[in-house]
Amino acid sequence: MPNDHFSNGKKIAFTVVMFLYINLALTIFWILKPLKKSLFIGLYDGDQTFKLGSMEMLGSSAELLAKGMNLLIAFMLVVFLTLVTRLAKRQRLTYCCMGLIIAMTFYFSLQMQINEPGESTVWLFYWFGDLYISLMLAAFFSFLHDTVDLRNAKRLYGFIVLGAVSGGAVGSTYFRGWIGEMNNQQWLHTIIGIGVVICLLAFAAGWMAKSIPHHEPKPSPNDVPKKKFNAAIEGASLVFKSRYLIAIAGIVGFYEITSEVLDYQFTAMTERFVPKEDIGSRFGTVYAIGNIAALVVQLCFSIFAAGFPKYRIHWILLALPLAVALSSLFFIIAPILLAASLLKISDSTFAYSVNQTGRETLYNPLSRQEKYVARAFVEVFIQRTGKVAALLIAFLVPMFLNTRNEAGQLETNLLGLQLLGGFTCIIVAIWFYCVKIVGRKFESLEREQQQATATTLGQAQEQPSAGTA
């Protein structure tokens, strides 16, 4: 049965299954995130520090190193997925990824049951948490793109994204509610159980997909490049020739910088002021508030966008940097735990909802080459560069300012965290300017597209009239 005959009943059933699929996948991630983060931060609590040569680090600084190493793991993951996707399509990729994840989860469960988590176990578990979400998102979207054509995918996308956002709210809220009742092993057993359900959903989706034959689209002559160029060089060339694309790259890069800095400030403040046994609960609470707020914002935006289809894009893109600027100013004035928590909540609320929607919309009026080649350069190279820059900044500042308390324990210096807040405000100011540029250019490109469409329609209407005369 071709995709054109993808009936409403099958479409609804398939959409519900995919909604649950991504919802449960994100539920696992938001259980893993505070769990792995609390174990990591709790390991280096001042009594025990991470030593790198002559330098001593607290857990919040050591985590920055772990994040930096994750970039290398992400590269290796790309190679792995490239090989796997050639062998496994549709739901088989989910089985491969989820099987690997269940096996790793079972391994960590045994390790933590036999011994107290040591340094090697905690580091591996931290990387495992990031590896999980990369694998599952790759499996999900590979299956979706391999099964549903573009026309139907566009119709299902909004509901499926809502499943991802709600999964974050469910996972973080569930973790916060049960953190005091369940130990590490029980959390890992819960993850295994949810993983089995995901595999069953993948089986159901694969069974439904049998009536949706997949046809690879034939490339048009215009899609085939006349010359072969290095994709990175070609993408960079396209970006730096366009003021509009440079501004988009700025928005992406500045977001990555501020997001990592905010996360470090929140982690360092939690590390300093929250007792070791309560760190997991604190992470869970803040993540739950952020994800629930993101869900509310996404629902409100969906209603707003439906009622006002001509809303200006810069209104949406300004929400996140404005929230970041206000929360950073509050933190500079009052470096307390509440202010640090608001930093993270402001990021989570808008980054996972309207900001992502706005960023995706910016590519709509561009040419096909700009949409794919230039976008790939921005979303990969610029994004990673921004993340690395943030990690270096957040790593170096506290390293030179950290002090020891009266008990001789290494302690995060509040002045260093406030200086990072000032740095964030400067970055946000440049971010505002980039939003101003893309807002004006986007409206200009939209008008050009509308005029071109009107001209084409007018010519099409004139041709029959001319033929009749």
Q: What are phi and psi of 52, to 5 degrees?
A: -125, 95
Average pLDDT of the segment spanning 16-21: 88
* Residue 253 and residue 207 share a domain: no
Burial profile 305-322: b = 16 or more Cβ within 10 angstroms, e = fewer: beeeeeeebbebbbbbbb
CATH number, position 244: 1.20.1250.20
* Residue 38 and residue 171 share a domain: yes
Cα–Cα distance measured from residue 290 to residue 292, given in angstroms and rounded to the nearest whole number = 6
* Residue 124 and residue 237 share a domain: no
Tell me how far CA of residue 215 lies from CA of 10, 26, 85, 150, in angstroms.
Answer: 19, 29, 16, 12
Asked whether residue 305 carries a pLDDT value surpassing 70, the answer given is no
Final residue of a domain: which of 215, 243, 260? Answer: 215
Asked whether residue 232 carries a pLDDT value surpassing 80, the answer given is no
* Residue 142 and residue 241 share a domain: no
CATH number, position 71: 1.20.1250
Average pLDDT of the segment spanning 353-358: 78
Q: What is the pLDDT of residue 289?
A: 95
Contact of 44 with 57, CB cutoff 8 Å: yes
Tens of pLDDT along 246-269?
A: 999 999 999 999 999 999 999 999
CA angle 325-331-332, nearest 5°? 90
Q: Is residue 369 part of a domain?
A: yes
| One-letter amino acid of 246 | I
Asked whether residue 420 carries a pLDDT value surpassing 90, the answer given is yes
Q: Is residue 70 part of a domain?
A: yes
Q: Is residue 134 part of a domain?
A: yes
Q: Is residue 454 part of a domain?
A: no
Cα–Cα distance measured from residue 433 to residue 423, given in angstroms and rounded to the nearest whole number = 16
- How large is the C-alpha radius of gyration of the chain? 24
Tokens representing 27 are 């539920």
Asked whether residue 133 carries a pLDDT value surpassing 90, the answer given is no
Final residue of a domain: which of 168, 193, 215? Answer: 215
> Is 257 or 216 the better-scoring residue by pLDDT?
257
Q: Is residue 425 part of a domain?
A: yes
* Residue 151 and residue 16 share a domain: yes
In the chain, the number of structural domains is 2
Residues contacting residue 103 through CB under 8 Å, at least 6 positions apart: none
Q: What are phi and psi of 55, to 5 degrees?
A: -90, 140
> Is 388 or 364 the better-scoring residue by pLDDT?
388
* Residue 272 and residue 189 share a domain: no
* Residue 424 and residue 322 share a domain: yes
* DSSP secondary structure letter of residue 410: E
* Residue 200 and residue 312 share a domain: no
Helix (H, G, I), strand (E, B) or coil at 298: helix
CA angle 383-387-392, nearest 5°? 150
Tokens representing 197 are 């359900």
Q: How confident is the model at residue 442 (pLDDT cuts 50, 70, 90)?
A: confident
Q: How confident is the model at residue 298 (pLDDT cuts 50, 70, 90)?
A: confident
Low-confidence winner among 162-176, 246-260, 301-315 (lowest mean pLDDT): 301-315
Tens of pLDDT along 368-406?
A: 777 778 887 887 788 888 888 888 888 887 767 777 777
* Residue 201 and residue 273 share a domain: no
Mean residue pLDDT of the chain comes to: 80
How deeply is 144 buried, as exposed, middle or buried, from its count of CB atoms within 10 A (0-12, 13-18, 19+)? buried
Tens of pLDDT along 89-110?
A: 555 667 777 888 888 898 898 8
Q: Is residue 117 part of a domain?
A: yes
Q: Is residue 26 part of a domain?
A: yes
Residues contacting residue 457 through CB under 8 Å, at least 6 positions apart: none
Q: Is residue 467 part of a domain?
A: no
* Residue 271 and residue 241 share a domain: yes
* Residue 362 and residue 235 share a domain: yes
Q: Give, to the nearest 10 degrees, the angle between helix 8-43 and helix 243-273.
A: 50
Tokens representing 418 are 């406030």
In the chain, what percentage of residues exceed pLDDT 70? 78
**Domain span including residue 304:** 229-444
Neighbours of 337 (CB within 10 A): 15
Q: What is the pLDDT of residue 423?
A: 94
* Residue 146 and residue 53 share a domain: yes
Final residue of a domain: which of 155, 182, 215? Answer: 215
